[in-house]
Amino acid sequence: MEIWINPACSKCRSAISLLDAEGAEYTVRRHLEDVPSEDEIREVLDRLGLEPWDITRTQEAAAKELGLKEWARDDSSRDRWITALAEHPKLIQRPLITADDGSAVVGRTEDAVRDALARK
């Protein structure tokens, strides 16, 4: 499993603490430094079963500068959202955990992290 984190994020640190406590094997990806490509974002969205606007941090300064709250949330706008996430990785909700079974979860709660752990 892989976890996309920002080390400054308390939710990310909590998720890693739980993974460590459970003895999980995982790799850490600091997505602000090792920025995911548009294709990687598409893959994670497919694994999550979500749309890009579902994993976008709309309160970030970059989101406000881009006017994301006004963007359409439909199939024709999907690529525009994905490009914005790739160009501004701080907008990506975190932590994102890709589970061993090919799925993924947004690990913002202990239950979500445990759900990822159960997907072996």
Give the C-alpha separation, 113 to 106, whole Å.
8
What's the chain's length in residues?
120
Mean pLDDT of the chain: 95
pLDDT score at 119: 84
Which pTM value belongs to this model? 0.93
Give the C-alpha separation, 35 to 83, whole Å.
12
Average pLDDT over residues 3-31: 96
Residue 100, pLDDT above cutoff 90: no
**Cβ neighbours of residue 98 under 8 Å, at least 6 residues apart?**
1, 2, 3, 44, 47, 104
